Chains A and B, each alone.
Chain A
Amino acid sequence: MYFQKRIDDPKGFMLFTIILLIFWFLMSPSLSLRNIAVGLVCCLAVTYFWSPDLFKPGQPFRIAPRQVAQLAVYLLLLAYNVVVANVHVALIVLSPKLPISPGFILVKTKLQNELTRTLYANSITLTPGTITINLNSDRLLVHALTKGTAQGVCDWHLENRLREMEVSKGD
């Protein structure tokens, strides 16, 4: 049957359910028995429904504490970069001559994991002068607002941080 899914990664399954439960309890108004029951059932059902997409064979779903810290640092750096990007766009839009030289650029990413690749593609969209058009295995198609920003996307220091986060998975 199409709705029967095999669970290959019980530890990852539990971890994901716990993450969803934490989110549920932060949102729920009280800790009554009914709230807990509904949350538990919903979290298990959601994880079960998406398990073929979440847990790939050979890629166990684990989160090390060190990775959480690295992610927090990464998100802080990303927030700073978003502010820089906005000032950059504001300067271009408000200048009377409109100094743009747009173009498409195809770059290769070093990242291996699908989750970090998605994070990387989204961060490219939020940072100065570039938006991701397509992500196909390790080919990233990026639209750049100026030639300078096209150069910047080729060797971007935040990609190395994501790569470090991927590598430090050993638990």
Chain B
Amino acid sequence: MLFYELFICLLLWSGLFFLFVGTLGLIRLPDLYTRMHATSKCDTLGAGLILMAMMFLVGRNEVFKLLMIGVFIWSINPLITHVIGYMAYLRDGEHLPETFFMDCYDLPYPGKEMSGKEDVHA
């Protein structure tokens, strides 16, 4: 029983840790795109871990609903990230001056440098 509670505590605290890291990244990272990295990934795992801890705590009937909440968070979070990033890209959101642009569409990795942003409507 003690180990069970310790395990739940571990899950809760690791979830909190990842949420904390996500928020810290939102403050520390320099531009919108890099900030999205921190928030999208860490929020997904943080919320997932906390939901998992709750799944161990609640009764058997509620587990499936919590699981569904988790599935929705995991599937919708990348979508929202993509929409925010795409809008910033269309509106020429500011990015770091040393940002590289690389075109690997028909070449293997190093590809060729792009002169600037790709015209997404082309």
List A residues at the B interface (Cβ < 8 Å). 26-27, 82-83, 85-86, 89-90, 92-94, 98, 100-108, 121-122, 125-126, 129, 131-134, 136, 139, 141, 143, 145, 147, 150-151, 154-155
Contacts and interface: CB of A to CB of B under 8 A. Distances in A.
B5 interface: no
25 contacts: A27-B64, A27-B68, A86-B18, A89-B25, A93-B25, A94-B21, A98-B28, A100-B29, A102-B34, A103-B99, A103-B101, A105-B103, A105-B104, A106-B118, A107-B104, A107-B105, A125-B40, A125-B78, A125-B82, A126-B41, A126-B77, A129-B37, A131-B81, A133-B85, A134-B86
A-B pairs with lowest CB-CB distance, top 4 = A103-B100, A125-B78, A93-B25, A122-B78
Interface in B11-48: 17-18, 21-22, 24-25, 28-31, 33-34, 36-38, 40-42, 44-45, 48
A136 B89 CA distance: 14
Interface string B46-77: 00100000000000000011001000001101
A82 B41 contact: yes
A71 to B, nearest CB: 13
B4 interface: no
Interface string B85-109: 1100100000110111111111011
Contacts of A147: 100
A131 B33 contact: yes
Contacts, number: 136
Contacts of A94: 21, 24
B9 interface: no
B10 interface: no
Given A104-B117, A129-B37, A134-B86, A86 B102 contact: no
Contacts of B77: 125-126
Dominant secondary structure of chain B at its interface with chain A: helix
Nearest to A29: B61
A131 B36 contact: yes
A86 to B, nearest CB: 5
B85 A108 contact: no
B41 A154 contact: no
Nearest to A86: B45
Nearest to B102: A105
Nearest to A93: B25
